[in-house]
Amino acid sequence: MEEKQSIRKLTIEELKGVMVRFSEKPFRAKQLFEWLWQKDAASFEEMSSLPKALREQLEGHYYIDHIELKDQQVSSDKTIKCAFNTQQGNIIEGVLIPTSKRMTACISSQIGCSLACKFCATGKLKLMRNLSAGEMVDQVTYLRDQAQLKYGSTLSNIVYMGMGEPLLNYNNMIQSTNLITSEQGLGISPKRITVSTAGIAKMIKRLGDDEVKFNLALSLHAANDKKRSHIMEINDSNNLDALREALKYFHEKTDTRVTFEYIIFKDFNDALEDAQELAEFAKCVPCKINIIEYNPIDDGEFQQAASSKVDAFANYLEKKNIIVNVRRSRGKDIDAACGQLANKNKAIKKEDRILKA
């Protein structure tokens, strides 16, 4: 028996080919595409504008890789963390972060992660697989609907900063951003999307070659190789010199300002000499720097820097005429803050959290 294929891997042109094979008119492909990407259909049966015979044919040959909500937690600061089930039964997490100025959807790109950054709960999980473009778009769609339902607001921003490394799922990530931004998809401006990477130089250059329109953020966290390698293994193969070169290339190709993310840890990277190194590195491209409050995970190796140290650090950078934002964490009480995804979820069994197949 023929194995079913994922319908959401197909472009609209490929869907037209499917319609021809099924002896249907090509306009049915547009209807099908809208059901998949605008109306968020989870089954062919829902597609009421398609003839029943066509729906049955589609059901016989294809499946929809739709994710389903497993659990939802709401923080005291109104942050919403969602645990989603994939069709294989693995768990991914997405977060809706409301502030006075923004309504941000933070989404995952992989099930687990292979990079093992010391400060990140997801980095302690085994990498199971890449998420499909559809599974990424589903997170955005659900969080968008929650923003409207719970807070009467539209999404202002989408960040690929959840579980996984987006640039190690490059093709699916690019397809998802295309679907999110296209008029046939969700119609959200690419300037409202930020893709965050731990720093893979050749893939940053590829973003430049592809002249992407979305924003790029680099998780830097230390601006000397010894410290960065201590907390991020990826720096051993993608050191600061390689990243500097890749970022310059990306900016030359896209003319887009880069964001540097800097989680500040007590007595590790919070001194003024660390700020001096960061300011020097930041000269490589037009940029802004987000200083991020550390959110503890279970192992307790790192601690949160003192507020006085954070303020002094930010003040130093501002005196160097660098745009600086200090990001105070949201959703800490439900482990939804930066670096905490997959750390704890009381409604999810331990074996689900560690992503056993």
User: What one-character-per-residue DSSP string does 20-82 give?
Assistant: HHTT--THHHHHHHHHHHTS--SSGGG-TTS-HHHHHHHHHHEE----EEEEEEE-TTS-EEE
Which of 82, 117, 120, 338 is catalytic? The answer is 338
Consecutive 10-residue averages of pLDDT for the chain (357 residues): 88 96 96 95 96 97 96 92 93 94 96 89 85 97 96 97 96 97 94 98 98 98 97 97 98 98 96 98 98 78 92 97 85 51 45 34
Q: Is 93 a catalytic residue?
A: yes
pLDDT value, residue 341: 47
**Separation between Cα atoms, residue 288 and residue 223, nearest integer Å:** 15
pLDDT value, residue 306: 93
**Separation between Cα atoms, residue 182 and residue 180, nearest integer Å:** 6
Which of 24, 93, 165, 293 is catalytic? The answer is 93
Summarised one tens digit per residue, pLDDT across range 302-345 is 899 999 999 999 999 999 999 999 987 665 555 544 544 454 54
Are the C-beta atoms of residues 173 and 162 closer than 8 Å to each other?
Answer: no
Helix (H, G, I), strand (E, B) or coil at 232: coil
Q: How far is C-alpha 210 from the geometric centre of its chain's CA atoms? A: 19
- DSSP letter (8 states) at residue 198: S
pLDDT value, residue 296: 76
- DSSP letter (8 states) at residue 329: -
Residues 6+ apart with CB under 8 A from 15: 7, 29, 32, 33
pLDDT value, residue 125: 82
Summarised one tens digit per residue, pLDDT across range 253-263 is 999 999 999 99
Summarised one tens digit per residue, pLDDT across range 88-103 is 899 999 999 999 999 9
Are the C-beta atoms of residues 199 and 238 closer than 8 Å to each other?
Answer: yes
Domains in the chain and their CATH numbers? 5-63 (1.10.150.530), 68-353 (3.20.20.70)
